[in-house]
Chains A and B, each alone.
Chain A
Amino acid sequence: MNNNNSEFEPKIVAFVCNWCTYAGADLTGTSRLKYATNVKIVRFPCTGRIDFMLLLKAFAQGADGVIVSGCHPNDCHYTSGNFHARRRWITFRGLLDFMGIDVSRIQYSWVSAAEGAKWADIVNTTVANIRELGPYTEYQKVADYLDKEDYNG
């Protein structure tokens, strides 16, 4: 799968919380730090809100990679949402593995409202990693499964 294709522009969806990472990404902009255009941000109130079925849906719809990012542990605007998200991610990782989804296509991180530079760095690193991994074609299997189960959220 390691076809190092420099022409390939990966599609990456970022699921971020409103208070830390969304604000951190705003700071990246205010600081005029540059990053790749491949990542598109979907704003959630909290990482605790992120139903991981959305990640599956993203892959099923043709995403090559996913970023999930929120407040650092103990910094959650809602006290504990990020802890729930972290625990969910740990459980979900096993499930992904079982389904045959490459876990390295998901970048899970903490970016605070003050870490504009870190956000740019995470985006660029993730884009480079996914580019290295190549397009994600196995998603169709997941899509078929989801269609069969008629899962629509």
Chain B
Amino acid sequence: MSKIGVFICHCGENISATVDCEKVAQDIRKVEGVEYAIDYKYMCSDPGQTLIKDAIKEHHLDGVVVGSCSPRMHEPTFRKACAEAGLNPFLCEMANLREHCSWVHEKGEATTEKAFDLVKMLVEKVKRNKPLDSIKVPITKKALVIGGGIAGIQASLDIANTGHQVILIEKDPSIGGHMSQLSETFPTLDCSQCILTPRMVEVAQHPNITLYTYAELESLEGFIGNFTAKIRLKAKSVDHKKCTGCGACFQKCPQKRIPSEFNAGLGNRTAIYVPFPQAVPNKPVIDREHCNYYKRGKCKICEATCPTGAIEWDKEDEILTEQVGAIVVTTGFNVKGADFFPEYGYGQYKDVITGLQFERLASASGPTLGEIRRPSDGTIPKKIVFIACAGSRDEAKGIPYCSKICCMYTAKHAMLYQHKVHDGESTVFYMDIRAGGKNYEEFVRRAIEEDHVNYVRGRVARVYEKNGKLIVKGVDTLLSGEQVEIEADMVVLATAGVSNCGAEQLAQKMHISYDPYHFFAEAHPKLKPVETNTAGIFLAGACQAPKDIPETVGMASGAAVKVAGLFSNNELVREPLIAVVNRSAPPVFSTCVGCFMCQTACPYNAIEREEIKGRDGKVIKTVAKVNPGLCQGCGTCVAFCRSKSIDIQGYSNEQMFAEVMSLLNH
């Protein structure tokens, strides 16, 4: 006969506002096997937990059900409390009375009845729970960081400085990411490259960091502490061990008119190229798509000029296999591209550019060496219009969210323009100015008050060309409510920040969740912002949502601490919720018939073959056996098993059928 204790939480008023908690506790006492039931205002609080512990001791409980919030929130809390009172933690279950009941229903009898049903369901389950022991697995103390922007750089350095090995992979030929493309940074106007490039060099020289550029994640297997990552090292066609980075090759390369990705398409590069002068590593790769030799079989001028014979024409992609214990994903973001703004003439008029392109124009390392010049004719624009929220906060464009960084960088752009073109006139069309952050509001005020940037609140309907001028048609919704028409020389769109291309595929490779916009999903929006739902995989930077540099760096350090915390243990304790094959002694009585359907179903290759031998040493039969190190507890094998010989601890057939039957059997 079971002795179950039931503890109903009011969660302040979160549950008790719609559920009659006292009644649930009273009614559940009448259920067979329930020894003790009580309701309390805050079960997760210290006195609440003490209540549970005392009851376990006093009533010799052999099972506990806590009716409160989602088990995804507090299951570890209550299991720990049970363990402290001497009860096996896996004899504690939670009924989700908050997220699945009180928050989604109105106050009433039906809601209280449902709460009772949910609790009763877990009571029936917990009666069939078995005490389990946690599984201990070793940890590989080496981290993989995916993406070499500022987030990846910061995370790599922070982990490496705790003494652990880091592998940093970057898909482009150089690390640096979007931050290396920026001119000055808000709100201090310090030069982006001046603060970034020393960090990039530090990464390359750090004894604990192995850097692979031009590399992508091919596949990922395993679990926290024990991942196997396959990394594709894309063929650079240049042997970086031999290359000295002298640059003779790209000075002589005849393919000179390839739009430069680093300059956001405003400048050109060669087919053999280093993306920018401060690149790390500062050694070239060959872009095979544009190289004369790969296209037509002739050229090889770079080979002729190379003093060290570093060109490798036949080099192929390599697959590298690495064992790592934790992963930080820092793959960044992108900005919306050309086809997105037909009404603003982007792609149609050369002088309608994106904010990222303006960064390149304003940057001393950019195509105009920091002078603001029109891409069409190279003249200095005297009138410039900035359009904030180009795509962001626009349901019609499919991007209802705020891209967060645009208000600030638009103010910065207008300011930089005024500093560089003294007789210039700049106008910003905006919806709202969102300048939350230390010294941010002051920065925007400075743009308006000291640099006399003309801020107009309103949307721009259309941009079109007339007599060599770009006519910006908008409406001033703040003061006059009238139409505004500006004859501009240049228009800059603060285009929406979007997830990086390939984000969805990468998430699927790693089995992490992502939101409808393909930004990676954090495990909890407030309390687990750097964790993902997959243990051992962490997030930092704009791959989670658009964010600015300070936030990105903070998040990267946060993720690094999580990795370092994990690596501070020698063993990892895993929940024993894994599959087992019944194997009553003697093993020849195992009901497993050896069909190995489970082996076919298992995504982790966790099912092994075990030979059962008779006294004479002959194999009598072959049965399935679960490798507890590999099993992740999905339970697909259980549903496949024809003879019901394999079962999953914590979600056993007995438990699940009992839950279903309790729900309906009254």
Contact = CB atoms under 8 A, between A and B. Distances in A.
A84 B100 contact: no
B393 interface: no
A58 B99 CA distance: 24
A11 to B, nearest CB: 6
Contacts of A45: 577, 633-635, 648, 651
A101 interface: no
Contacts of B117: 40
Given A34-B106, A37-B113, A84-B640, A42 B660 contact: yes
A145 interface: no
Nearest to A19: B533
Interface string A53-85: 010011001110000000000111111110011
Contacts of A135: none
Contact of B601 (A13, A48, A152): A48
Is the contact region of chain A dominated by helix, strand, or loop, or is it mixed?
Answer: loop
Interface string B611-635: 0000000000000000000001111
B657 A152 contact: yes
B320 interface: no
B277 interface: no
A78 B636 contact: yes
Contacts of A26: 70, 72, 96, 99-100
Contacts of B515: 114
B62 to A, nearest CB: 22
B601 A84 contact: yes
Contacts of B547: none
Given A49-B648, A61-B661, A41 B96 contact: yes
Contacts of A49: 634-636, 638-639, 648, 651
A6 interface: no
A140 to B, nearest CB: 13
Nearest to B661: A61
Given A78-B632, A113-B513, A51 B639 contact: yes
Chain B interface residue bracket vs A: 35 or more
A9 B635 CA distance: 33
B565 interface: no
B104 A35 contact: yes
Given A32-B103, A49-B638, A84-B601, A54 B577 contact: no
A81 B636 contact: yes
B106 A29 contact: no
Contacts of B661: 57, 61
A42 B117 CA distance: 11
A91 to B, nearest CB: 12
A51 B632 contact: no
A133 interface: no
Contacts of B635: 44-46, 48-49, 81
A29 B104 contact: yes
A28 interface: yes
A3 interface: no
A111 interface: no
A106 interface: no
B649 to A, nearest CB: 11
A130 interface: no
B105 A35 contact: yes
A44 B651 contact: yes
Interface residues of A, number: 54
Contact of A51 (B601, B633, B653): B653
Interface centre among B72, B100, B659, B661 (most CB of A within 10 A): B100
Interface string A16-42: 001110110111111011110100111
Given A35-B104, A88-B639, A120-B104, A81 B634 contact: yes
A98 B98 CA distance: 40
Nearest to B601: A84
Given A23-B533, A84-B636, A84-B640, A79 B603 contact: yes
A46 B70 CA distance: 17
B526 to A, nearest CB: 10
A43 B122 CA distance: 10
Contacts of B660: 13, 42, 54, 57-58, 61
Interface in B403-435: none
Contacts of A120: 104
A153 B653 contact: yes
A77 B534 contact: yes
B636 A48 contact: yes
Contact of B657 (A27, A28, A54, A112): A54
Nearest to B94: A43
B72 A22 contact: yes
B110 interface: yes
Contacts of B323: none
A52 interface: yes
Nearest to A55: B660
Interface string B86-127: 000000000010111101111000110110011001000000
B664 A11 contact: yes
Interface centre among A11, A22, A120 (most CB of B within 10 A): A22
A98 B229 CA distance: 46
B508 interface: yes
B609 interface: no
Contacts of A76: 511
3 nearest CB pairs, A to B: A29-B99, A49-B635, A48-B636
26 contacts: A23-B533, A25-B100, A29-B100, A30-B103, A32-B104, A34-B104, A35-B104, A37-B101, A37-B114, A40-B118, A42-B659, A46-B636, A49-B636, A49-B651, A51-B656, A61-B664, A63-B663, A75-B507, A75-B508, A78-B634, A79-B511, A85-B639, A88-B639, A114-B514, A153-B654, A153-B656
Given A44-B651, A45-B651, 11 more contacts: A26-B96, A40-B114, A42-B121, A45-B635, A49-B636, A49-B651, A51-B638, A51-B656, A80-B636, A81-B634, A112-B513
Interface of A: 9, 11, 13, 18-20, 22-23, 25-30, 32-35, 37, 40-46, 48-52, 54, 57-58, 61-63, 74-81, 84-85, 88, 112-114, 120, 152-153
Interface of B: 70-72, 96, 98-101, 103-106, 110-111, 113-114, 117-118, 121, 507-508, 511, 513-516, 521, 533-534, 577, 601, 603-604, 632-636, 638-640, 644, 648, 651, 653-654, 656-657, 659-661, 663-665
